Structure 1
Amino acid sequence: MPSFKYPISLVIGIALLSLLVTLIAAAPLVTPYDPVKQQASERLEKPSLEHPLGTDRFGRDLLSRVLYGGKTTLLASFLALGATLLIGLIAGLAAGLFQGSILDVMIMRLVDVLLAFPFMVLAMVIAALFGTSFVHLLIAVVSVWWVSFARLTRSVVLRAKQETSFAAARVLGASSATLIWKELLPKAIGPVLVLATFELGSLMLSIAALSFLGLGSKPPAPEWGSMLADGRDHFMQAPHILLGPALFIMLTVLACNLIGEGMRDRLDPYERSEL
């Protein structure tokens, strides 16, 4: 019986994430309601055909707020992932290529310090110094999250430097830029991309957690974490308020983890899991 060319987890994860992104991108077509417009006469309504996820304490349609809020959460997650990936790759390549140098020591000691520093405390310090905003939320996340990419990249580079092709390129007089571009980066990009898919889910959870604590976008702008915080006071009276954002967070993180598992199975046959 022929086997799938791609791991089933990768296919399911991509399909689920594509569906969620399509719904969020097509929010104006999916729901006709303004996500910030208040309707006091419709507050805390239960799910119905008119409001599939119900309404919040201000009478705002929850489906609209979940979909529009997904744009903010996903945008923040992808921007943070791109920035951390870039910084981590550059730092890891530099540290690995110049192993034992002052540059390597400085980068790895900084990594050790950031790994020991509580992430939430750093985010709160940044918020206290500069105020709460979307940009400051990204700064707080990126300033810590790049270290895992740097450590992984450095370990891959150190292993790649032991290979014959790298030694041959160095003997032939290849420059540092050529060594990075031709020998090291191609070997590092696969493991780093696998890590990135797993980290994307964790990033979304962290961004939602910071928004839940009030460190993200300011009301009435919708955001999944802030929506959970806004609805917790009315959970006993109207539990449906938390259903929408919680469900979308869970499904998005699940899709990212499935994609990560599928990419690991696809790119690393030695760690292939049972499908």
Structure 2
Amino acid sequence: MIRRQPLAAIGLALLIVFVACAVFAPWLAPWDPAQLDLTGRLMGPSWAHWFGTDQLGRDILSRTLFGARISLVVAVSVVGLSLAVGLVAGGLAGFYGGWTDTVVNIYVTNAFLALPGILLAIAFVAFMGPGLGNVILALAISGWVGYARLVRAQVMAVKEREFVEAARALGATDLRIMTRHILPNILQPLIVQAAIGMAGAVLAEATLSFLGLGVPPPTASWGSMLNDARSHLFDSPHLVFFPAMAVMLCVLSFNFIGDALRDYLDPRTRMSAGL
């Protein structure tokens, strides 16, 4: 797949870099990300500070490295929690149908879709207060609906196939049918959706942090770094450039991987591309 799709290789390489930065940030960061140095504020990139310093003299490279931790933790946690809730809700609605499908698909999911996801997340964090846990919960609350609808559609298509009917005729329980026969056959679109969903989670976390609703200071976050750099956009553009590039490249890496997985896991696309 990687040889045939260079964008997948680029996305995977970028993701490996970000994961390495997040895991080894304490050893890679040349300075303490929260260390203040008012005598060296707003310095441009130099040998001492490769990415320069911010308005409080903090090293931007160190803060960018530690910001990768927040973004990746939020991305993995939000997608994992949203996928778990979506699997349960969508699986029940698609498998049993009837009033269960009506309640989950018509009333609950439509109620969540009536509000834009980012506005729902902003309202939740504004009510509960900023913090990493609240950000993850807010984004998961607004993000599980898409997974639920995808799971529901896939379960409704798979449950009518012959191997599911055979398992039911042999006396298999509903739980066994779901976990052993249906779930393995709907994983492909879920994997693609999860990869693309991580890109959206990184962008949403940066948005909340930019609005002051993310992790509280002095914790480094790409969104809060962009917020702090607004008043120095023209006199110190490096304050904006490096965290913005980090957000852009991280989102691109997940999108490239998601697109590559979609093309690779879709049999029709593989046949047309000769993969």
* Letter in structure 1 aligned against 2:13: A
* Letter in structure 2 aligned against 1:37: Q
Q: Could you tell me which residue of structure 1 aligns to residue 75 of structure 2?
A: 77
Kept after mapping to 1: 8 A contact 2:35/2:58: yes
Q: Could you tell me which residue of structure 2 aligns to residue 251 of structure 1?
A: 249
Question: Superposed, which structure 2 residues align to 1:19-34 within 5 Å?
Answer: 19-34=17-32
Q: 1:62 to 1:4 in 2, by over 3 A?
A: closer
What CA distance in whole angstroms lies between the structure 2 residues aligned with 1:211 and 1:31? Answer: 21
Q: Describe the SS at the equivalent of 1:207.
A: helix
Q: Could you tell me which residue of structure 1 aligns to residue 96 of structure 2?
A: 98
* Letter in structure 2 aligned against 1:107: V
Q: Describe the SS at the equivalent of 1:44.
A: coil
Kept after mapping to 1: 8 A contact 2:21/2:68: no
In the TM superposition, what is the alpha-carbon distance from 1:65 to its structure 2 partner?
0.5
Q: Describe the SS at the equivalent of 1:254.
A: helix
Q: 1:7 to 1:165 in 2, by over 3 A?
A: farther
Bigger shift: residues 122-131 or 254-263: 122-131
Unpaired runs of 5+ in structure 1?
none
Unpaired runs of 5+ in structure 2?
none
Instruction: Please report the TM-score for the alignment, with normalisation by the length of structure 1.
Output: 0.94
What CA distance in whole angstroms lies between the structure 2 residues aligned with 1:95 and 1:7? Answer: 37
* Letter in structure 2 aligned against 1:149: Y
* Letter in structure 1 aligned against 2:142: V
What CA distance in whole angstroms lies between the structure 2 residues aligned with 1:4 and 1:60? Answer: 39
In the TM superposition, what is the alpha-carbon distance from 1:112 to its structure 2 partner?
1.1
The answer to whether the aligner puts 1:157 opposite 2:131 as a matched pair is no
In the TM superposition, what is the alpha-carbon distance from 1:37 to its structure 2 partner?
0.7
Residues 169-202 of structure 1: CA distance to partner in whole angstroms, max 9, x if unpaired?
Answer: 1122211011101211011111101111011101
Q: Could you tell me which residue of structure 2 aligns to residue 36 of structure 1?
A: 34
CA-atom RMSD in angstroms: 1.7
Kept after mapping to 1: 8 A contact 2:2/2:8: no
Q: Describe the SS at the equivalent of 1:57.
A: coil
In the TM superposition, what is the alpha-carbon distance from 1:6 to its structure 2 partner?
6.2
The answer to whether the aligner puts 1:225 opposite 2:223 as a matched pair is yes
What CA distance in whole angstroms lies between the structure 2 residues aligned with 1:105 and 1:226? Answer: 41
* Letter in structure 1 aligned against 2:149: R
What CA distance in whole angstroms lies between the structure 2 residues aligned with 1:266 and 1:6? Answer: 10
In the TM superposition, what is the alpha-carbon distance from 1:25 to its structure 2 partner?
2.0
Equivalent residue in structure 2 for 1:189, among 187, 190, 198: 187
Q: Describe the SS at the equivalent of 2:168.
A: helix
Q: 1:6 to 1:149 in 2, by over 3 A?
A: farther
What CA distance in whole angstroms lies between the structure 2 residues aligned with 1:90 and 1:271? Answer: 29
Q: 1:4 to 1:227 in 2, by over 3 A?
A: closer
The answer to whether the aligner puts 1:139 opposite 2:140 as a matched pair is no
* Letter in structure 1 aligned against 2:100: L
Q: 1:5 to 1:246 in 2, by over 3 A?
A: closer
* Letter in structure 1 aligned against 2:52: G
Bigger shift: residues 133-142 or 113-122: 113-122
Q: Could you tell me which residue of structure 2 aligns to residue 65 of structure 1?
A: 63
Q: How many residues align?
A: 272
Kept after mapping to 1: 8 A contact 2:90/2:149: yes
Instruction: Please report the TM-score for the alignment, with normalisation by the length of structure 2.
Output: 0.94
Kept after mapping to 1: 8 A contact 2:2/2:9: no
Q: 1:135 to 1:4 in 2, by over 3 A?
A: closer
Higher relative contact order (CA 8 A, sep 6+): 1
